[in-house]
Structure 1
Amino acid sequence: MKITNVKIVTPYKEFTGTIEVESGKIKRVYEGKDRGEDMEGLIAVPGFVDVHTHGIGGYDFTSWRSVDEFLGNLLKMREIYVKYGVTTFLPTTVTLPKEDLAEACKAVGEIEDPSIAGLHLEGPFISEKHAGAQDVRYIRSPDMTEVRRCVELSKNKLRTVTVAPEKGLEFVSALVGMGIHVSIGHTDADYETATKAFLLGADRTTHIFNAMRPFHHRDPGVILASINYSPYIEIIPDFIHVDKELVKFLVKSVGRERVVGVTDSIMAAGLSDGEYTLGKVEITVKEGRALTKEGKLAGSTLTMDKAFANLAKLTGLYDAVMMTSYNPAKALGLTDRGALLPGKNADIVLLDDKLRVVKVYKNGEEIG
């Protein structure tokens, strides 16, 4: 298969050219028009990689009554994500009772699909003070026995754990030692504690500026520690969680190579205002804002195509591709995706001039 006469955005340059696909992989990427599917006027970018998402289209990773229902929900979520250009995602939990969390881990272990690149536990090992929309009743102290059980039940698919490092730096070290990516978030850590966590191997910050000790010039906290030391920094570019000028400032300050755009989306993403849930917490969506009954932001209604468009308008197409495909894939060690380069999976999204999704290919097969 060849896609030709299309604007191609690679990690190195943008040009009008051709993408040749063979056996589900990108074989060649080159300038100029060739024989093939003529996609004049469209833009080719890599499939989006969302490493922090709870749900979409009425389906929620952690709102289910049985394992069978959960599996059906997760497969339906996968189908809906594709419509927004997402070809790889990490289903993300919220803080849950121990047995419910174990069932979520077990269910992920039963699905063999490279689109579902593993599991992200956003809790339960977080700060009560900065729980955000998470249910404080189920927050608990670091427990390696529970983590090892999750690893076993998920068949080694536990990729990321969000941790409040003030609950125990030895826990950070233990997770890193198991090959798990530690993301610092939902935390009241001061600058010194957060810095130590990154130096111990924590390699990401969970939605910076949100659900963490605020920055103060005499108490810079986890925010400055993240800017100084975190290899990758998540941000939610819906311009609700973080003002667009601050998003622009972050990218300029730390560089496009370290910023990871995420949706933190809940089941209301892609739907209208109304009443929803996030795990066991009731959520109201009004004018696109997802709020608890106490008025706290509760995830987002952002979809990845909109996240990409927002970032592209701020920083350009090249940087947006870095932040929504290349960086998140690299942060998880997924070397087979995230860029339109030879040898990578042929996960390709075609956008129109308004950056709306027109076609989606997974391993070279059109699926959306």
Structure 2
Amino acid sequence: MKKHLRVNKALIGQKWVHNLVMTIENGRVTGLTDVNTGDDSAKPQHSYTSLTVDMHIQGTVIPGYIDTQVNGGGGIMFNQTPSFHRLRVMADAHRQFGTTTLFPTLITDQIDVIERAADAIAEAISDEHPSIAGVHFEGPHLSVEKKGVHPPRFIRKLSDRELDTYTRTDLGQVVLTVAPENVPTSVIGELVASGVVVALGHSNATYRQVERAIEAGATGFTHLFNAMSPLTSREPGMVGAALLNKCLCGLIVDHQHVHPKTVELAYKIKGPHELMLVTDAMAHVGTTQQTIPFFDRNISRQGNKLTTEDGTLAGSCLDMHSALMHCVNDIQIPLADASAMASTTPAAFTKIRDRVGDIAIGKVANFLVLDDNNALNAVWQYGQQVSGITIPNNN
């Protein structure tokens, strides 16, 4: 079914366009018509006067968010009995905050849990779940020294059995976080050749070790600044390598993991097309639960911070829209750039930009409607409004 939406203001190709009609058919954008000129970037062209507008979207329209690091949501952790049902709960919890595409993230665990998680993802991909584009395995091939809350008893070298799981062809796009000192460059090259996106993180590697991993095909860094060897005067470490290279870096902008001024510095060095917002969200997002079990410990919420009993920072209760608002309001990053960090850049990193990440002809109609204060008013996914209020056309 075709529908025409009149939009007051939209971010199209990193530029603000005012007063246009967006045509949607079968869940994808098929036309973007300038109301003032009648110019349409779709073919065949249509004049605005020939269009019957079905709805008037008053507000600012930006692409739906893409979160590449989602450990849990809606009271559920992916590691706990991974299943398609749990994935649906997690996706629903994050969608209300503007995340229309996500990569469920399995942290360090036993091989049978990894395989069951892969089966759940394969079911979601086969079922064409609208939010799930793949999976992120964060570990278990990490550094014990930079483990964070990852259980050290499960951290290990990469086996053939695990390699077979990561390179399955029914998982959508696979992202794998490794510590380069724990995975040979030959294995990184093999993973990349099989289509896996390799990110570096939870690592105490030297600058040279990181450089060799990048030369082997690693293209990103997992939660920049957190759980990685720091930049010092005599050893640039993983942080120095991340800032110097063209690789893409995830960033948790919750004001708990990274100081706002450190975010500002990273933004000035890397720019919006090499930084991507991630939540590293735990089960707390989308629920009022304060304490949730995590392996043999508990993770508790204290305000906007999650910690274990000993005070160790344990993921976040951050949602993507809050991350964007922190960037815009507290760090003074322009909305267009913050939007790119939440959509276009993660789409490029995960190699799904041919489908999502922008409002463009041929791409899935995933977009958000913000009010004048950038509060989230409505979420659209595959051309359908799934939350919020949008004003019907009264012309």
Equivalent in the alignment of 2:98: 85
Corresponding residue SS for 2:343: helix
Greater gyration radius: 2
**Comparing 257-266 and 169-178, the one that deviates more:** 169-178
Query: Within 5 Å, which residues of 2 pair with 1:98-117?
Result: 98-111=111-124, 112=127, 113-117=129-133
Equivalent in the alignment of 2:158: 142
Runs of 5+ in structure 2 lacking a partner? 37-47, 388-395
User: In the TM superposition, what whole-angstrom CA distance separates every residue of 1:165-194 from its partner, at most 9, and x where no partner exists?
Assistant: 011222222211211000000000010000
* CA distance in structure 2 between the aligned counterparts of 1:367 and 1:132, rounded to whole angstroms: 36
1:58 to 75, 82, 86: 75
Instruction: Using the aligned pairs only, state the percent identity.
Output: 28
Equivalent in the alignment of 1:155: 170
The total of aligned residue pairs comes to 362
Structure 2 contact 64–343 (Cα < 8 Å) conserved: yes
* CA distance in structure 1 between the aligned counterparts of 2:296 and 2:151, rounded to whole angstroms: 8
Structure 1 contact 273–288 (Cα < 8 Å) conserved: no
Structure 1 contact 51–120 (Cα < 8 Å) conserved: yes
* CA distance in structure 2 between the aligned counterparts of 1:226 and 1:81, rounded to whole angstroms: 28
How far the C-alpha of 1:142 sits from its partner, in A, is: 1.9
Equivalent in the alignment of 2:45: none
* CA distance in structure 2 between the aligned counterparts of 1:31 and 1:246, rounded to whole angstroms: 40
Structure 1 contact 267–277 (Cα < 8 Å) conserved: no
2:377 to 342, 358, 361: 358
Structure 1 contact 266–300 (Cα < 8 Å) conserved: yes
Structure 1 contact 133–281 (Cα < 8 Å) conserved: no
How far the C-alpha of 1:273 sits from its partner, in A, is: 6.5
1:76 to 76, 85, 89: 89
Structure 2 contact 121–171 (Cα < 8 Å) conserved: no
- Amino acid of the structure 1 residue aligned with 2:176: V
* CA distance in structure 2 between the aligned counterparts of 1:201 and 1:13, rounded to whole angstroms: 32
1:346 matches 2:362: no
Query: Within 5 Å, which residues of 2 pair with 1:122-271?
Result: 122-152=138-168, 155-157=170-172, 159-167=174-182, 168-271=184-287
- Amino acid of the structure 1 residue aligned with 2:29: I
Equivalent in the alignment of 1:45: 62
The TM-score with structure 2 as length reference comes to: 0.87
Equivalent in the alignment of 1:21: 24
Equivalent in the alignment of 2:347: 329
* CA distance in structure 2 between the aligned counterparts of 1:47 and 1:295, rounded to whole angstroms: 34
Equivalent in the alignment of 1:9: 11
* CA distance in structure 2 between the aligned counterparts of 1:321 and 1:104, rounded to whole angstroms: 30
Equivalent in the alignment of 1:318: 336
* CA distance in structure 2 between the aligned counterparts of 1:190 and 1:244, rounded to whole angstroms: 26
User: In the TM superposition, what whole-angstrom CA distance separates every residue of 1:224-269 from its partner, at most 9, and x where no partner exists?
Assistant: 1111224211101111111111111111111211111100000012
- Amino acid of the structure 2 residue aligned with 1:186: H
* CA distance in structure 2 between the aligned counterparts of 1:278 and 1:312, rounded to whole angstroms: 33
* CA distance in structure 1 between the aligned counterparts of 2:74 and 2:371, rounded to whole angstroms: 23
- RMSD of equivalent CA atoms: 1.8
* CA distance in structure 2 between the aligned counterparts of 1:37 and 1:218, rounded to whole angstroms: 59
The TM-score with structure 1 as length reference comes to: 0.93
Q: 1:364 to 1:62 in 2, by over 3 A?
A: same
Q: 1:331 to 1:236 in 2, by over 3 A?
A: same
- Amino acid of the structure 1 residue aligned with 2:73: I
How far the C-alpha of 1:311 sits from its partner, in A, is: 2.0
- Which 4+ stretches in 1 moved above 6 angstroms? none
How far the C-alpha of 1:281 sits from its partner, in A, is: 4.1
How far the C-alpha of 1:2 sits from its partner, in A, is: 2.3
How far the C-alpha of 1:9 sits from its partner, in A, is: 1.3
